[in-house]
Structure 1
Amino acid sequence: MQRAVGTAALALATCIGAVCAVPTAAAAAAPAPGGEATLASPPSAFPPYLILRAAGTGMLMSDRYDREPTSWRSADGRKIPSDCGAGQARLGDEVACTVGKELKIRNYASGATESVPARENRAWATAISPTQVLTSEKDADGHWLLHLLGRANESRKDVPVTGVGAMSSYAVLDSDARGALVEYWGAGAEGKHRHGLLDYATATMKELPEASGGGSTYNHVGLGSKWIAMVQFDKAVMVSRTDPAVVRTVAIDKYPGRVLAVGDWLIADSGDASDPVVKAYPSDGSAPRPVLDQLDGPLVLGADGSACGLSTVNGSSRWAVHCISADAQGALRVQEALAVPARPADRRSIAIAQGDLFALHVDSTESVLGYRTSVSGPPSITQAPLWRCERSKTDLFCPEAASRLGGTAATGDGRIVGMSAANGCTSRCAVTVHIRDARTGGAHRTVKLPGELSHVRIVSASGRYLLVSAEVEDVARSLVVDIDAGKVLDIKPTSAAGLWGSLLWQPEGDKGVVAATDLRTGQVVRRVDLQSGCRPYEFRANGDWFYSTCSADGAGAAAYQAQTGRRIPLPFVAERPLGPLALGDGYVVHENYGVVSVYNLRSGVLVREHQASGYPGNNITDWAVDRFGGRLAYLDQEETLHVVGVTGAASQLAVIDQNVPGTLDAKTAGSRQARWWLSKPVSSWKLMARNKTSGVTTVVRTGGETRGVVDLTWDGKGQTGRVVLNGAYEWTLLATPADGQGAPLKATGSVTLTGAAFAAGRGRP
């Protein structure tokens, strides 16, 4: 509903132009051979990351956090990067830049440029006019004097500014085509703090009225085409530009943070987030009018005398540059001069496993969102989250499972893991592991790591096990955590370790041999010679694929596939050996100064298959590899999620961990559960049990698409609900890989069933 604005009508004009802030084009890159899917971040509840610098026919905008250079943007869709950011001085569409000793002035609307040569002992000030440039010089006593240098179309090439004596210091607060508003301190011990209006046409500075109170000055001043707005705490006046002796008192109801004069109105913003409305105060003393609902950043004096700001209007959450002007009758008008893109919500700490993708969203609150990507063919991604949790009074620890301390990991069985330090500790901290079931109503549990740790980092997660690297009393260690049991299994004396399913891989000796310890039994069950001839310094494990280096500087970086015995050198020494790296199923992803490269190894020959980078001059902000499939996920500078596929044949489907009881009591809930962790998603599965005595085979359960783990509770009944005989069984798990690559899985084992009971009056099957 539009607010009432009183007798002086506040006309809300239509937008001057169409949506015109065109995102800077990403650096040209070849499409990913394995396909790519994207997911834009939803709009943020906060203002865009933009600051308005100058207003003409177009707007000079800069990014608040330097994600892109300052640019001039017009209502017709043009977006031109500024040569020197916000520049030395600005006037409408013109930006003045210091180039060597010259001042280069560029008009972004017309494309015209000109240069003003420097004068000896002159410093460029922050003001220009269509015909002149303001400069300053120091006299023999070190005091400042002002001069106007003529531009190309001005015959007066050097005019001293009169009307004010030497200054100990000065600052240009605002300027337009006719003059500049200057704050200055007079020279000498008695030098006063004053404000003056410099008139370009006459090259004279007119002293503006002093603030009341003797020795005090105005807190805020703002230039306008007719008046100068001057505020001292809760008192405001409007001073005539043509005759500073003409002053009008303006009644304001709140001390403002920013002011400008438009027509006969004082435009004021309180700078108070609890009351963000920008008001227009008339000089005739009547009631103020709301003009903008919110303002982010400064009010800028437009080339036409309007007041412009990045703002919202009429209760809308849509941000744009709005300009406030006065018409011939003195009524205010608010016009949308430039639409700007919504600020995307911040995304951080992404993790992906078995095609399930998670990201921490930081906006008005912190939440973790889960999306699902395809696991066969080119990547696709759900556009809406399938699951989310949000920090609230009832769920204080939701974001901790995607925390920024030491990274975030997806376990591959529907859980995500993060860490937190006690009381914001940053060194030698008590650290807690947070585990979250990524489903609606999913459980949250914690595991406290022992002692005080430094440089804590999640190395990898696989099902129920977590591998963490840390320093314990300044010595590198690897901590192995069973997140199901809620305990630390071991603290290893080496930082070079890899985790895959229930196998913990570590170096054995100094000749390139690594050994796998089964965490279920504590026994070494496999050894692999990496053919490197050195003890691994950096090490990763993923199924039959391994990555290692021989030293801290990355010497001997190579991948090794145990199935074929092929060692593939990697080209990292020349790039950046210690850059972040992840090993996938037959591929390596390596980051080098914000550029992420996918090296495909599946053919046995190294191929740099794809490179991903942010916008020009910027980096990828976060990335993760799906260890249980062929996907890379990353965030660009616009908070857009990208999922990139990897070509070639993936590894065979396998069971990488299992928890199947030797004896299953159908009457006891705690002993009826069986779980099989899988190396990649499956499209369907079937569990059968063959009675070893009778030879009868029963279908226990079947299922459709499953990602990460087959988890079931056997109550002694088959798929049809029929009770089976107690006794010794051989179970068989059959599963079909969802990616269509490799043979179906067949895993077998033994179990003894007890406690199966028949309903009263029914015989055995």
Structure 2
Amino acid sequence: MSRSRRLVHAAVGGVVALSCTVLTAPAQAAPDADAPVGTVRLATEKRVTVDYPWAGASGFQYRPGTTSVTTVDYPDTVPPAHAGPDDLASGTDVVNTRDGQTVTQRHRSTGVTATVTIPTGQAYRAAAGWSVLTMDGTGALHVLRTVEGTLTVDTPVTGFPAGARPVVYRTGGSVSRLAIVYVLDGKTSVGLVDLADGAFRTYVTSDEATPQLAFNDRWLVADWKAIRVDAEPGTEPTALTRIGAQLEAVVGDQLLLGNPDFVLGGTDPALTARSLVTGAQSTVLTSSFGGIGPTLDGGALATAGPSSLDWNIHRITPTDSGGLTTTEVARVPAASTGVQGLAVAGGELFLYGATTAGGALRYSGFQLDADGRPTGAQTPRSPALGASTCLTGDAACPQLEALGDGRVGYLWTNSAGQESVLNVGLDTTTTLSGPTDGDSGGRIAGGTGRYVLYNGASGKQRLVDFPRAATGGETTLTRDRTAAAVWGQTLWTPGSTQGVVTGRNLKTGTTTTIATGAPCTPTDIQAVNTWLY
């Protein structure tokens, strides 16, 4: 079967698809599609929480959610002249990997390796730098380290209270100390093991069963009590003012506080710092939450950014003046989400999907070059929207039309089945609505700029106008349904005689008549620029 078509150049603008005769020959397959010139990925705007399986002097590993681990190397790392178990300070770049009773240690920037063999009767508890902490069958703790890379040396931990039960082993911003939370006589306490000689010292007794804690080589903060690691025995910790936030890390003399329990609506959490020397408070990173933690070299890592499309990991290090400095070191890729609708016009591709942080739907735009290649990042182009309301069996839902000026028109159906034409795209807060006077089961037949053409099941055709300064759409024309197309300010419809197409200027009301030469009245019209098809 075939249809008669005409391609007509119209000086006043338009392209029209003219369909006349009944098909008389079998339809032919479409030609092979050209190779794609580019791809885009619709991403959720929800900022993912990452954790850090390892973080040290030359780089770190991070894992977004339940996905695989990504390794990041710092480009300015200078390997030390010497690294090994005989130099505990060089352990800030050591990765420990345990396999049963064997712990393999690798210094990342130099490649130096060592192997710690856990003796029979001892069980692994934790590792930091070149040191491995174990417990034997009697409950005694041991620090294991190698000599010459393979011979394991066992140093018993001294000073750990008799009868105490360890409940938490915690690494922090240090490779010379490791924290242990223990319970004795119903009370919870926190102390540090000196990994050089195995000496344990209790610093804080807590009123909480599982106190928050953070430490480095200078300070231990536990249960909102702070004390210098090198304080004289018997020194009482200093009580800190509690706030509804987490003790994330100690960097230099600064305590990092993040992931607050409460923030005002419309605002993001921030990572803040409190000086353990002066008590001064400062903001380290705005819009920062989720993946925050210490690094073995005494620094910290934290995620921050306004959305998942600009969600980055920052390295936090101390300054010589006692402050902090931050450096963006990695971009966390946003998670993909499904595309539920698409349209393209005016050099922009619009995708519709559940992208907001709360899982709501919205339109997002991608700028395209003259060849159709994506050139810009995903940009939100509408408020958060409710799910598309589709009639039963409507395979064309959601219906949308890119209007060529950064806006999109689409259909929405209420609970009574009545449709409205909606318009979004000027910002991320505004949705304009144009009612169809209770019509339903319709289709968007086209649109451009401020105008959207709606064909209702009632047999009526409506042209809905969305001026930029308006607060809603207005039906400027209602007519019996025929083939029609709108481009710019001109509505193209079949003329009164066969093969004639009439263009009506919607602003001035003047008309233009074009003879296409087709021996029929068109049943389909498309208008693009100065062409009618």
Does the pair score TM above 0.5? yes
CA gap of 1:411–1:304, structure 2 versus 1, over 3 A, is closer
CA gap of 1:384–1:58, structure 2 versus 1, over 3 A, is closer
1:643-722 counterparts in 2 under 5 A?
Answer: 670-675=478-483, 689=495, 691=497, 698-701=500-503, 719=512
Matching residue within 137, 145, 153 for 1:150:
145
Give the Cα separation in 1 of the matches to 2:141 and 2:439: 67
Give the Cα separation in 2 of the matches to 1:341 and 1:297: 14
Corresponding residue for residue 193 of structure 2:
198
Give the Cα separation in 2 of the matches to 1:77 and 1:326: 18
- Equivalent pair of 2:244/2:260 in contact (CA under 8 Å): no
Residues 1:183 and 2:174 aligned together: no
- Equivalent pair of 2:341/2:398 in contact (CA under 8 Å): yes
Give the Cα separation in 2 of the matches to 1:136 and 1:77: 35
Residues 1:174 and 2:168 aligned together: no
Give the Cα separation in 1 of the matches to 2:350 and 2:433: 16
Residues 1:325 and 2:318 aligned together: yes
SS of the equivalent of 2:273 reads strand
Alpha-carbon shift at residue 120 of structure 1 (Å) = 2.4
Residues 1:334 and 2:320 aligned together: no
> TM (normalized to structure 2)?
0.61
SS of the equivalent of 1:92 reads helix
Alpha-carbon shift at residue 210 of structure 1 (Å) = 2.5
SS of the equivalent of 1:675 reads coil
Give the Cα separation in 1 of the matches to 2:442 and 2:373: 24
**Structure of higher RCO (CA pairs closer than 8 Å, 6+ residues apart):** 2
Give the Cα separation in 2 of the matches to 1:373 and 1:237: 52
Residues 1:305 and 2:298 aligned together: yes
CA gap of 1:341–1:434, structure 2 versus 1, over 3 A, is farther
Residues 1:75 and 2:75 aligned together: yes
1:452-531 counterparts in 2 under 5 A?
Answer: 463=443, 484-485=456-457
Corresponding residue for residue 136 of structure 2:
137
- Equivalent pair of 1:226/1:262 in contact (CA under 8 Å): no
CA gap of 1:209–1:737, structure 2 versus 1, over 3 A, is closer
Deviations 1:429-448 (A, max 9, x none): x9989875456645478999
- Equivalent pair of 1:408/1:417 in contact (CA under 8 Å): no
Matching residue within 509, 521, 524 for 1:731:
521
SS of the equivalent of 1:339 reads strand
CA gap of 1:224–1:243, structure 2 versus 1, over 3 A, is farther
Alpha-carbon shift at residue 67 of structure 1 (Å) = 3.5
Alpha-carbon shift at residue 362 of structure 1 (Å) = 0.9
- Equivalent pair of 1:177/1:303 in contact (CA under 8 Å): yes
Matching residue within 342, 348, 355 for 1:352:
342
SS of the equivalent of 2:175 reads coil
1:318-717 counterparts in 2 under 5 A?
Answer: 319-325=312-318, 327=320, 331-341=321-331, 344=334, 348-352=338-342, 357-360=350-353, 361-363=355-357, 368-369=362-363, 371=365, 379-380=372-373, 383=376, 388-391=381-384, 398-401=385-388, 409-411=397-399, 416=410, 437=422, 441=432, 443=434, 463=443, 484-485=456-457, 670-675=478-483, 689=495, 691=497, 698-701=500-503
Corresponding residue for residue 245 of structure 1:
234
Corresponding residue for residue 10 of structure 2:
none
- Equivalent pair of 1:239/1:247 in contact (CA under 8 Å): no
Corresponding residue for residue 583 of structure 1:
none
CA gap of 1:734–1:674, structure 2 versus 1, over 3 A, is closer
Deviations 1:547-571 (A, max 9, x none): xxxxxxxxxxxxxxxxxxxxxxxxx
Corresponding residue for residue 532 of structure 1:
none
- Equivalent pair of 1:54/1:60 in contact (CA under 8 Å): yes
CA gap of 1:170–1:287, structure 2 versus 1, over 3 A, is closer
CA gap of 1:121–1:390, structure 2 versus 1, over 3 A, is same
SS of the equivalent of 2:243 reads coil
- Equivalent pair of 1:225/1:262 in contact (CA under 8 Å): no
CA gap of 1:671–1:210, structure 2 versus 1, over 3 A, is closer
Structural RMSD (CA)? 5.4
- Equivalent pair of 2:410/2:421 in contact (CA under 8 Å): yes
SS of the equivalent of 2:352 reads strand
Alpha-carbon shift at residue 217 of structure 1 (Å) = 6.3
CA gap of 1:264–1:463, structure 2 versus 1, over 3 A, is closer
Unmatched tracts of structure 2, length 5 or more: 1-32, 79-89, 264-268, 403-408, 426-431, 446-453, 463-475
Give the Cα separation in 2 of the matches to 1:34 and 1:320: 36
Give the Cα separation in 1 of the matches to 2:380 and 2:304: 33
- Equivalent pair of 1:365/1:390 in contact (CA under 8 Å): no
Alpha-carbon shift at residue 319 of structure 1 (Å) = 4.6
Give the Cα separation in 2 of the matches to 1:72 and 1:371: 30
Give the % identical residues. Answer: 13
Deviations 1:382-418 (A, max 9, x none): 8589994314xxxxxx342399x99994447666568
- Equivalent pair of 1:262/1:326 in contact (CA under 8 Å): no
> TM (normalized to structure 1)?
0.45
CA gap of 1:297–1:699, structure 2 versus 1, over 3 A, is closer
Alpha-carbon shift at residue 182 of structure 1 (Å) = 0.6
CA gap of 1:384–1:177, structure 2 versus 1, over 3 A, is closer
- Equivalent pair of 2:271/2:283 in contact (CA under 8 Å): yes
1:192-231 counterparts in 2 under 5 A?
Answer: 192-211=187-206, 219-231=211-223
Alpha-carbon shift at residue 116 of structure 1 (Å) = 2.6
- Equivalent pair of 2:367/2:376 in contact (CA under 8 Å): no
- Equivalent pair of 1:218/1:230 in contact (CA under 8 Å): no
Alpha-carbon shift at residue 245 of structure 1 (Å) = 2.3
Alpha-carbon shift at residue 732 of structure 1 (Å) = 3.5
Deviations 1:510-555 (A, max 9, x none): xxxxxxxxxx9xxxxxxxxxxxxxxxxxxxxxxxxxxxxxxxxxxx
Q: Aligned AA for 1:193?
A: T
Give the Cα separation in 2 of the matches to 1:719 and 1:41: 42
Alpha-carbon shift at residue 674 of structure 1 (Å) = 1.7
Corresponding residue for residue 106 of structure 1:
106
Give the Cα separation in 2 of the matches to 1:302 and 1:374: 41
Give the Cα separation in 2 of the matches to 1:181 and 1:126: 10
Give the Cα separation in 1 of the matches to 2:204 and 2:412: 61
CA gap of 1:41–1:146, structure 2 versus 1, over 3 A, is same
Q: Aligned AA for 1:282?
A: L
Residues 1:159 and 2:155 aligned together: yes
- Equivalent pair of 2:492/2:501 in contact (CA under 8 Å): yes
Matching residue within 266, 278, 282 for 2:276:
282
Corresponding residue for residue 452 of structure 1:
none
- Equivalent pair of 1:150/1:157 in contact (CA under 8 Å): yes
Deviations 1:246-283 (A, max 9, x none): 34525536354215444555444472453635122333
CA gap of 1:390–1:106, structure 2 versus 1, over 3 A, is same
Give the Cα separation in 2 of the matches to 1:485 and 1:111: 73
SS of the equivalent of 2:382 reads strand
- Equivalent pair of 2:411/2:422 in contact (CA under 8 Å): no
CA gap of 1:282–1:42, structure 2 versus 1, over 3 A, is same
CA gap of 1:735–1:416, structure 2 versus 1, over 3 A, is closer
CA gap of 1:730–1:442, structure 2 versus 1, over 3 A, is farther
SS of the equivalent of 2:169 reads strand
